[in-house]
Structure 1
């Protein structure tokens, strides 16, 4: 049995001992005590720590000059046209300084700090919008703070280590370890992407991409359905009516048959247009809400579906639309893939969430990567801070739970 290792990394905290347990620890047996081997006074880690402390002064001087210049020039010119853009550029440059400091700490101190998410600067945004996004960047401001306060510390550590190389040589390793522990704390505290706003920016940037991709896919689907369906039927209808017009005087009976066929084509084209409009946003959903709209969807399912909608108010139109299309897609899967004999749809509100649960007694085995549109539904819900959970063991039953944020409908 080996002794439990420390939670600290290989370059942090106390020395670790991975040898056999000493007697009396965790039930160890008697014998000769085996203590962890002492760390050499001047090993590679000590020399890296000393190098880091000696580099503190030049890097601190450069960072201090950069931070003070950026703040003074940008602040004094903030009332002019160029002041705020200049400060925004300085904050973007501060991000690069922070990247270099994290790399130095990683190489010499063994501190693993994740890189902050990049700023979501869209190409379509104007210069003022991009500058405002940079001015609100917490990473840039924290890096400027880090650079502004490090000059005294850099002078102290440089002078202490330089003097110790001649005077306090025996205790320098322990002194270097203590000083670099303070450096590690500053790097983690000011250069780590621990700010909740940064994570939220990254999430919103990802969600925005999902929304754009989903909208583009919906637009392509509508164009394809119009081209392959109603448009093709209307072209055939025009050709048939043209031929019927030519036959009207020569062969009235044939012309009447062709007009009857054209009438049938008109009915089919109208039905396809109604289906397409229902796929975009059904009128029953706008007029009567989720209860009536989901009952209409359930009536078209190939298995009996029990629909229960327990809502005293209607949610915002966008949330209502996503809920409708989620249930519609799930019931299509029930019809095509489940082999179920019955299904149920339950919709209710819990505080600030709209919950949807669709169940069937089919064969199960549904997965997000199963090619039935489940992944698209999960992405669509995730883009609006929703959740999508599939519980479908082999042999069934299948239970899909979806959550959406509740937003009140505008009166």
Structure 2
């Protein structure tokens, strides 16, 4: 009797032709899943904190609006809500991977605009109110997600990753919808309000400088001139030679006073800029610099007077810095138009090391350009060379504009 050959077996012990068993089911319990589960479990305590804060702020603020402290308290509550929103955005970044831009800060300026305008600005803050809404609706959601997640940890373990993903997707949508800047317009409005304050401060500082220059310079000279002429008048008959000397001295004072007034007028808005444009005006500035300056202005037309003035004073101050601080042997100024932007580049071969916080007026220049949608970039390694690039929006000159 012939024996049937026994089936051959492989190294695993399976007979030939026998199908391997299916691998065990595996679910995505990776680090991302655990972060989502942690987020859902933390929802309850943070939603309790946020809801309690919101109810306290709203009810206390609304009740006390009958008194003088109600509105300031409500404004402070809205600013505090911003901090809760910041906490929630940080939690979403860390646990859910949601990258949400921080809203623009309120342009509060230390009371410079007055108490009531700043109070109104805080009371109408859309970021604070959206955070209030977010924290108000989160309590039932926090209870629901905490309960479902905690139960699933013991009952629905195999499908918990899918449940966590669905619940956290709803969290992601809430964060993006209520805790992100509403749109670019809101950010831009806040920036413009802040920039308006910079312009106002700059204008006020310029007025104070003009007043100080007039008081300490030309006005003082004119007062001394009047006194000298008065004394000369008294001595005219009794001591003509002495009176003539005093008149000659007064004549010299008149010349100095006129020169100071011309310099002051040039600092406000030079006539050459109005009459002949940037090329001639910057050439005049360059001629007063202590180092040789090559000026190249490549403009087919003149920009608006305001833009032209900002460009002129930017180059003037940069060349003053070159004279006083750079130790350079030569410098250059280039001005040209690129699409709808006016570009200015001032370079020197000096010692370098220029910074925005270096105390040479660079920060003030950067703030002035930022206030009109401009840019200000410094490249100044130690040892030089230094290149400062300024960029301004191009606006066409209105015919007849001065």
1:279 is displaced (CA, Å) by: 0.5
TM-score, L = length of structure 2: 0.69
1:245 corresponds to 2:233: yes
What is residue 356 of structure 1 aligned with on the other side?
344
- 1:393 and 1:152 map into 2 onto residues whose CA distance is 57
- 1:242 and 1:318 map into 2 onto residues whose CA distance is 44
Give the paired residue count. 354
Larger Rg: 2
- 1:244 and 1:190 map into 2 onto residues whose CA distance is 81
Segments of 5+ residues of structure 2 without an aligned counterpart are 1-28, 59-72
1:224 to 212, 219, 235: 212
1:379 corresponds to 2:367: yes
1:316 to 290, 296, 304: 304
What is residue 280 of structure 1 aligned with on the other side?
268
CA contact (8 A) 2:79 2:122 kept: no
1:401 corresponds to 2:389: yes
- 1:91 and 1:120 map into 2 onto residues whose CA distance is 14
- Comparing 140-149 with 205-214, greater Cα deviation is found at 140-149
| Cα gap change, 1:302 to 1:129, in 2 (>3 Å) | closer
1:147-166 residue pairs with structure 2 within 5 A?
A: 157=145, 160=148
1:24-173 residue pairs with structure 2 within 5 A?
A: 49-50=40-41, 52-53=43-44, 100=84, 103=87, 116-120=103-107, 124=113, 139=127, 143=131, 157=145, 160=148, 168=155
- 2:294 and 2:240 map into 1 onto residues whose CA distance is 52
1:272 is displaced (CA, Å) by: 0.2
CA contact (8 A) 1:121 1:130 kept: no
Segments of 5+ residues of structure 1 without an aligned counterpart are 1-12, 17-37, 68-88
| Secondary structure of 2:378's aligned partner | strand
1:167-246 residue pairs with structure 2 within 5 A?
A: 168=155, 177-178=164-165, 180-195=167-182, 196-246=184-234
What is residue 249 of structure 2 aligned with on the other side?
261
* Alignment deviations for residues 61-119 of structure 1 (CA, whole Å, 9 cap, x no partner): 9999x99xxxxxxxxxxxxxxxxxxxxx9999888667546657867996597763444
| Secondary structure of 2:388's aligned partner | strand
2:352 to 365, 375, 381: 365
CA contact (8 A) 1:57 1:155 kept: no
- 1:226 and 1:130 map into 2 onto residues whose CA distance is 38
CA-based RMSD of the aligned residues comes to 4.6
CA contact (8 A) 1:102 1:191 kept: no
- 1:51 and 1:357 map into 2 onto residues whose CA distance is 53
CA contact (8 A) 2:354 2:386 kept: no
| Secondary structure of 1:250's aligned partner | coil
- 1:226 and 1:338 map into 2 onto residues whose CA distance is 30
CA contact (8 A) 2:51 2:139 kept: yes
1:321 is displaced (CA, Å) by: 0.8
1:14 corresponds to 2:30: yes
| Cα gap change, 1:264 to 1:216, in 2 (>3 Å) | same
CA contact (8 A) 2:375 2:391 kept: yes
TM-score, L = length of structure 1: 0.68
1:231 is displaced (CA, Å) by: 1.5
1:189 is displaced (CA, Å) by: 1.2
